[in-house]
Chains A and B, each alone.
Chain A
């Protein structure tokens, strides 16, 4: 375990150095991500300013969900989502061989090879949104924060599972750069309060495709609507993570190298 951690830190440092080699790209990319992530919250703000709303949700409550969504992406994307793009390239060019030649778990190596520090920019935009949302809400109690952190970890796990599934598909669907669009389309529902959808939809997005776990359920904890029963939902996230991991390893068997 210590070896894995040392390896993790060393690779992170190297990847950060790699990103910083082109500082203008790094900072521009960071700025673009922050701006991009603020588009949906700005639209939400405009909607509320025009007098419309999500039924039963104040502006700050709706913003809280979007803040948690962005924050979760800010943690999950740098560590897990880079592997989708890197797997696409590695599989197409046959350079995934190089990862298989390293004496570490292949999934771990794949994750490290895709580490993308640019995406930490989302933590900034998520933080700004969270501060704005909480400024218009009663302060959450310590227990609410605790449950929130637990559910937030589950949220990151759900996002990690999505990245494992997408990367896994690329072993079979070589060069399918559109898999990310599938993820984007499906998870966009997670930016809105779950209660605006039908009951069946809510069940689907909690237990089958746990998209509600990305932001809606953790945000509820900060609104004082969380309870220990809610934490059980985190189990769905754990199961989803396990399924994602198993699916990734299963699909790795389809890996085809390239001609020498």
Chain B
């Protein structure tokens, strides 16, 4: 469905200092800096996939997604999605894709979402019957049948986000890009949105998900692509991502006796809440669990112990912390990448 080969985006941006002198100089002369936002990335996405596209702020993921939606032109490289080159066949291509931005609303603020839906129906040229069927189906699935007639400004964030999804799905796209779809939502609203995404995915819609909420990733994605400093640093299944953690466990421990320095193989002190309460990370391949429990109990007396697999955040932090190759920079807060 999506094939990306050697996609690269480089742009020039100006740098400005914050002092009065630097600002004054900047009015006359603006030093330019070349930024390599995306560097030669390649990947493919199969039809019906649910792929999380992750990376720290400024990693280049938004630039990549903007190229894949046809909004930006790459400096070099190729990409095809649904058989189109997004930036060359923009109009035909966007008719078959959808996009939901957690921080950019497509709804009109002062009027009910139903009016915005009607406007999108006309923009996409959706026939009356198909529009009604899809709208009925989506409103029922998201439980917003009555809400869509209230002015958007009176809806809660969760309700608005559900309407954003309807707006993006009315023309029955085959491929949907989600950018932070659950940002700012409460747990119930998040669950509803995730259920909806899952349901649509089961109906054959391919999703590319960009998020910083790793619960979204764990609960939705089957595959994870991580980009950092403009480079692809991981592309595999979610289980392979967990596999990167090895046999490590997170342990929270309360003891009878104060715990001094711990010098045990495979045991790392993560946080000391108190001299008798610690958070540890144990590599059970280096120090078997049975031996660890026995050792701690003998030395300090275990009062309470909780153990769980390391959160996916741990491996993400490792991937995000990787150093850039010489000569590359992050994309920065403003993506000064040209439309063409």
Interfacial residues, chain A to chain B (CB-CB below 8 A):
3, 6-7, 9-11, 13-14, 17-18, 21-22, 93-95, 97-98, 100-105, 109, 252-260
Looking at B91, B110, B338, B339, which has the most chain A CB atoms within 10 Å of its CB? B339
Given A14-B108, A257-B335, A260-B61 in contact, is the A103-B122 Cβ separation under 8 Å?
no
Quick one: which of A18, A255, A258 contacts B338, CB cutoff 8 A? Answer: A255
**A21/B111 in contact, CB under 8 A:** yes
Quick one: which of B151, B335, B340 contacts A260, CB cutoff 8 A? Answer: B335
- B residues in contact with A253, CB < 8 Å: 338-340
Contact sample, A vs B, 24 pairs, CB 8 Å cutoff: A3-B125, A7-B123, A10-B119, A10-B121, A14-B116, A17-B111, A18-B111, A21-B151, A93-B104, A98-B106, A100-B94, A100-B339, A102-B123, A103-B92, A103-B125, A252-B339, A254-B338, A257-B337, A257-B339, A258-B334, A259-B58, A259-B331, A259-B332, A259-B334
Given A10-B118, A103-B94 in contact, is the A256-B336 Cβ separation under 8 Å?
yes
Determine the residue in chain A with the shortest Cβ distance to B69: A101
- B residues in contact with A109, CB < 8 Å: 123
Q: Nearest Cβ in chain B — how far from A100, in angstroms? A: 5
Interfacial residues, chain B to chain A (CB-CB below 8 A):
58, 61-63, 65-66, 69-72, 90-92, 94-95, 97, 99, 101, 104, 106, 108, 110-111, 115-116, 118-119, 121-125, 151, 179, 210, 331-340
Quick one: which of B62, B104, B121, B123 contacts A104, CB cutoff 8 A? Answer: B123
Bound-complex Cα distance A37 to B94 (A): 42
**B111/A259 in contact, CB under 8 A:** no
Quick one: which of A14, A104, A105 contacts B115, CB cutoff 8 A? Answer: A14
Bound-complex Cα distance A154 to B73 (A): 35
- A residues in contact with B121, CB < 8 Å: 10
- B residues in contact with A101, CB < 8 Å: 69-71, 94, 97, 99
Bound-complex Cα distance A97 to B124 (A): 16
Besides the known contacts A7-B125, A17-B111, A257-B337, 11 further A-B residue pairs in the complex with CB atoms under 8 A apart: A10-B118, A10-B123, A11-B122, A14-B115, A93-B104, A97-B66, A98-B104, A100-B71, A100-B339, A104-B123, A109-B123
**A256/B122 in contact, CB under 8 A:** no
- B residues in contact with A21, CB < 8 Å: 110-111, 151
Bound-complex Cα distance A221 to B101 (A): 52
Quick one: which of B94, B118, B151 contacts A14, CB cutoff 8 A? Answer: B118
Q: Nearest Cβ in chain A — how far from B74, in angstroms? A: 13
- A residues in contact with B97, CB < 8 Å: 101
**A258/B69 in contact, CB under 8 A:** no
Determine the residue in chain B with the shortest Cβ distance to A250: B340
**A256/B91 in contact, CB under 8 A:** no
**A257/B123 in contact, CB under 8 A:** no
Give the 8 A-B CB pairs with smallest separation, nearest first. Answer: A260-B62, A10-B122, A255-B339, A103-B95, A21-B110, A253-B340, A14-B119, A259-B333
- B residues in contact with A97, CB < 8 Å: 66, 69, 71, 104
Given A98-B106, A103-B91 in contact, is the A256-B123 Cβ separation under 8 Å?
no
**B124/A103 in contact, CB under 8 A:** yes
**B122/A6 in contact, CB under 8 A:** yes
- A residues in contact with B179, CB < 8 Å: 260
**B110/A100 in contact, CB under 8 A:** no
